[in-house]
Amino acid sequence: MERGELDSLVEEKLRYTIDYAVKHSPFYRRWFERNGVSPSSIRSHEDLLELPLVSGDLIRKNQPPKTDDFQFMSADWNDIYTIHETSGTSGVPKSFFLTWQDWLRYAEKYGRSFRSQGFGPGDRMVMCASYGMNVGANTMTLSARDVGMSVIPEGKCTFPTRIFETYQPTGIVASVFKLLRLARRLKSEGIDPKETSINKLVVGGESFAKQSRSYLEEVWGCPAYNTYGSTEGTMCGECVEQNGLHVPEDLVHLDVYDPYRKEFLEDGECGRIVLTTLLSPGEKCGSLLINYDTEDTTVVHSRDKCACGRTHMRIYTPEREAESLWVSGSPFNRVDVEQGVFQRENMDHLTGEYEAFLDKNSGGKAVLKVNLECLDKNKCDRDIIQENFLKGFLNPYTGTLNLYEEGGLDVDINFAGMGELEILKLKGRPKRVVDRRKT
């Protein structure tokens, strides 16, 4: 769809969405009144820039146990198909309600990503995302219906390797680390991942460094595509060009906001992703969101037509702001740490598994302690690995390079044998980079 036609469609949907919010969302009905906003004045997506933001904490304060009912719920119980929760890593999980039409919209977003990555009839995808209260695996599975491919719903990446020989899958959805562990398990059984039927990988659930993608593609001998999704409904994905994630602009509106300057940003500037649900006239939505602050950061890469032919705008890989740490005014993210870990020269010695802790020494100076899992810790070239890590991690743009050179930050590299890292002994998906300065 051409840009002008797309913008007109977005504005038509926005007007219906605002009207729907007034009629069906207890929270937004009061929100408009409280902020002195006339819903009828919101006619274009530029009008959203004048409205305040809605935070995840605000959602928690408008649901049990804080309130008697769910103020963000925007459909009758008779229309609610499923109930979902976020992971709750930052407090009480946020509740989200999906109608069947929400499921179809979520599946449409994932389906577009899969199609743009080359999936279609005849493909068989192993789904290693968790089924349950999280929405991703469920709606990705539904999307296969429209893409025309089959799904092998394993849920975990610990499935028996006979699956490769029995069903000849052509793709896998999993995280970087799950895919690397699976590759090591295949090799231990005498199977080269490159020689399997897999010809595409889809990485979901977490941001990653370009270095880790490059290594993953080398190990499996095929492209690895990035996707970004959330229970709130942000499903974006790379196409075969691997040049930014396409945003399904006709299904969800995305702006970028700077919480420190308290203003929306121009394309090319880094800030938080702000979402607004977009509904077609007549549709229903279980948990409508307007100007929702995801607390994930990105940059709008381009609104020009992509080489793949798609016109929807592209964003750079989002990063979780909760995974960013600050030292003396200089930030770094878990992805920055992974840039150091996955330097190619290191990967002849390392598995890629790591854990990092930001601490203070006896003099109060910040110290980043990084533990790296080695293929053989007695044969690791420790000096070379440390040199490569610093080359990848220290960045003049974030300020960590200057901080390190001026003595404000130390980096302590430690080496562990296979299975010795603390993080591998914890259940769930624990943080890989932890701030221990306050404890």
Q: What CATH number does residue 195 fall under?
A: 3.40.50.980
Domain range enclosing 382: 323-435
The pLDDT value recorded for residue 108 is 97
**Number of folded domains that form the chain:** 3
How many H helices and E strands in the chain? 11, 22
Residue 89 reports pLDDT greater than 60:
no
Q: Specify burial of residue 77 (Cβ count, 10 A radius: 0-12, 13-18, 19+).
A: exposed
Domain boundary pick from 222, 254, 289:
222
Quote the Cα angle for 252-255-257, to 5°.
145
Helix (H, G, I), strand (E, B) or coil at 299: coil
Whether 88 and 235 share a structural domain: yes
Using a 10 angstrom Cβ sphere, with 0-12 exposed, 13-18 middle and 19 or more buried, the burial of residue 119 is buried
Percent residues over pLDDT 90 in the chain: 87
Q: Are residues 200 and 337 in the same domain?
A: no
| Number of Cβ within a 10 Å radius of residue 364 | 7
Q: How does residue 88 score in pLDDT terms, banded at 50, 70 and 90?
A: low
User: Helices 176-188 & 210-220, crossing angle to 10 degrees?
Assistant: 30
Same domain, yes or no: 327 and 404: yes
Collapse the DSSP code of 175 into the 3-class scheme (helix H, G, I; strand E, B; otherwise coil) and give the result.
Answer: coil
Say yes or no to pLDDT of 389 above 80: yes
pLDDT for the residue 87: 67
Residues 293 and 338 in one domain: no
Q: Which residues contact 42 (CB under 8 A, 6 or more apart)?
A: 14, 15, 18, 48, 51
Q: Quickly count: other Cβ atoms within 10 Å of residue 257's Cβ.
A: 20
Helix axes 26-34, 3-24, angle to 10 degrees: 100
Q: Distance of CA 273 to CAs 60, 89, 118, 336, 372, Å? A: 19, 19, 27, 20, 32
Contact 371, 421 (CB under 8 A): yes
pLDDT at 329 over 70: yes
Amino acid at 302: S
How does residue 31 score in pLDDT terms, banded at 50, 70 and 90?
Answer: very high
- Position 194 in a domain: yes
**Of 81-95, 113-127, 169-183, 260-274, which gets the smallest average pLDDT?**
81-95
304 pLDDT higher than 90:
yes
The per-residue b/e assignment along 262-280, b for 16 or more CB within 10 angstroms, e otherwise, is: eebbeeeeebbbbbbbbbe
Query: Across residues 278-307, what is the average pLDDT?
Result: 96
Confidence band for 200, pLDDT divided at 50, 70 and 90: very high
Same domain for 193 and 139: yes
| CB hemisphere CA count around 292 (13 angstroms) | 24
Amino acid at 366: A
- How many CB atoms sit inside 10 A of residue 179's CB? 25
Looking at the structure, do residues 153 and 59 belong to the same domain, yes or no?
Answer: no
- The predicted pLDDT at position 238 comes to 96
pLDDT for position 91:
65
Instruction: Assess whether 256 and 352 both reside in one domain.
Output: no
Q: Is residue 292, in this structure, part of any structural domain at all?
A: yes
Any domain includes 58: yes
Q: What number of CA atoms fall less than 13 Å from residue 264's CA on the CB side?
A: 20
Does the pLDDT of residue 84 top 70, yes or no? yes
Q: Which of 131, 122, 308, 117 is nearest to 202 (CA)?
A: 117
Question: Which of 317, 349, 376 corresponds to the end of one domain?
Answer: 317
Residues 92 and 237 in one domain: yes
Read off the pLDDT of each residue in 283-294 and give the average, rounded to a whole number: 97
- Per DSSP bridges, beta strands 245-246 and 236-238 are antiparallel
pLDDT, mean of residues 351-375: 94
Token digits of residue 177: 């680390």
**Residue 439 pLDDT:** 63
Domain boundary among 188, 222, 256: 222
Could you tell me the pLDDT band of residue 392, with boundaries at 50, 70 and 90?
Answer: very high
Which carries the bigger pLDDT value, residue 133 or residue 251?
A: 251
Q: Exposed, middle or buried: residue 410 (CB in 10 Å: 0-12, 13-18, 19+)?
A: middle
